[in-house]
A = this chain, B = another copy of it.
Amino acid sequence: MLRPGATIGILGGGQLARMLASAGARLGLLSHIYSPVADDPAFDVCASRTLAEFSDEDALAKFAAAVDVVTYEFENVPAATAAFLETRARVRPNPRVLALTQDRLTEKEFVRDLGIETAPFASVEDAGALARAVARVGRPSILKTRRFGYDGKGQIFLRDGADLAVTFRALGGAPCILEGFVPFAREVSVVAARGENGEFRAYDVCENVHEHHILAVTTAPAKISGETAEAAVAIAQRIADAADYVGVLAVEMFVVEGSAGEQLVVNEIAPRVHNSGHWTLDGAVTSQFEQHMRAVAGWPLGSTRRHGRVEMRNLIGADAEKWRDILNEDGASLHLYGKKEARPGRKMGHVTRVFPEDA
């Protein structure tokens, strides 16, 4: 258990690291940001900074020596970086979960092996394997690179009649996974935390709407039955326990409405704080960022109680220009990430609105 005044090292300097550092400061924890990107927004709110590549072992060694625990804001921390740091510092969550979630195939296998429902999937190492995979998984389906995909990048929707060889080449010939399309009624996620001692606390299941493969709106609670919500949280806990996870994680799930009622299908695990948990900053007693810092510091987890019905809307690209209107709107909470350039598709901030529970 760290003491206040301890230093949390954070790999990555984006908005998630920024909000983690701010949450840590509130608790008297110092943050040391490690990022190769000079104008990363987390550098503006932290006590110490390392501007270096993730492959720079001198910088990594100094970083490890300067902090009390290492955590990360993104799952694509290079395996070699994580392995190097692990010999020199406590890394939380443990890097095994990085290996697991960096590869869509091992992630899906891990979930399936826990007896949890996933979309049908098959490994695709080459164009020939794609034909066999399509035969097994069917269409429509989605071909995804196994590694480095996010926000819809590195994936192609496969309809009837699409040319398989062309499709495979379009993803650069990288190892892929074919996933059957799930005809979902809604997308939900469970944002939860597991502490050092196995303590587990989930926020209420929230519902997500994506636009152009990027999260647009999250509302909490999700419009699902209480039974389904309980099942979703139980799935997240099973995953966290199996990975011996410490910190906040998000499990994205599809809700399929069938004759037997609502059914849950796990889509993805994010081993970090998650965009669909941003509503907790204004809408819950403990934010997901504070919760993660508590967990990696070895501290008890905080209350996940909601303040009301909550809506979080991302400000993507030019949406950030709406800041004046949002500031003028009574009860809206504006968050801007301090990014210098509002490129299309770039997450610039978000706005949260909390409504009375019964409205």
Contact = CB atoms under 8 A, between A and B. Distances in A.
Interface in A327-359: 327-328, 330-331, 333-338, 340, 349, 354
A285 interface: yes
A295 to B, nearest CB: 11
A70 to B, nearest CB: 19
A302 interface: yes
B349 A327 contact: no
Interface string A245-275: 0000000000000000000000000000000
A28 B337 contact: yes
Contacts of A44: 25, 30, 46-47
Interface in A286-338: 286, 294, 299-300, 302-303, 305, 307, 320, 323-324, 327-328, 330-331, 333-338
Contact of A45 (B4, B22, B333): B22
A313 to B, nearest CB: 16
B300 A328 contact: yes
A331 B307 contact: no
A27 interface: yes
Number of copies: 2
B338 A28 contact: yes
B5 A340 contact: yes
CB-CB nearest 5 A-B residue pairs: A28-B336, A44-B47, A25-B45, A4-B336, A303-B331
26 contacts: A1-B324, A4-B320, A5-B338, A5-B340, A21-B45, A22-B25, A25-B44, A25-B45, A26-B336, A27-B334, A27-B335, A27-B336, A28-B336, A28-B349, A43-B47, A44-B47, A45-B46, A282-B285, A285-B331, A285-B333, A285-B354, A286-B333, A294-B327, A300-B327, A303-B330, A305-B331
Interface of A: 1, 4-5, 18, 21-22, 25-28, 30, 43-47, 282, 285-286, 294, 299-300, 302-303, 305, 307, 320, 323-324, 327-328, 330-331, 333-338, 340, 349, 354
